[in-house]
Structure 1
């Protein structure tokens, strides 16, 4: 039995020395990973993307570009239509101004005093009972 006690004691001594050595080593050393992860290059990242994802992204980009071009086209069309409307409104307002001017001129030319004066200048006599305004 003495032999067993001696072996047990040696293990206890070895354990104590290991613990003392562990206390002597600084515990501030960081744990480093065994494998260092290197960032992937863009080509390797693209290799990890599936074909379906690439197709979906391409379709999405094409759709966005198409919508942008469609928006620009619609805005241009709307702008042209607004310009046409404004030019037509300008023509209408010029026409209305011309109509108004011609009506005023007609009213001035068809005044009974003017007609009497022209008739007298030409040597005609006018009976004011038979004089009437023509519209």
Structure 2
């Protein structure tokens, strides 16, 4: 009986761990943006937020690489983004700090590069982010 319990535990633990690993998504992590119009780069942390993904501004850096403080640090950059399969993500909303508007995000993951596009009506912007 004791052996049966141990084997059952190992089987359940293995299935649970496998499911957790299968749920990991390659978009999750910390990403470095391209320089913006103020020549600042940011580090963006992407996490799972329920059944979707969200991104938060962790830190910002000037052209020399020195960390700078901005009022945007700690703010959500995007939310409710979902996987569309084949490395594509979309839906949700994307906040564009420089012009203070919300846009519809589209992201494409290619290796360690995340191509990020955001459009508000007919105005679109794009960047390539690099995994840190």
TM-score w.r.t. length of structure 2:
0.26
TM-score w.r.t. length of structure 1:
0.26
**Considering only CA atoms, is the larger Rg found in Structure 1 or Structure 2?**
1
| Structure (1/2) with the larger helix percentage | 1
| Structure (1/2) with the larger strand percentage | 2
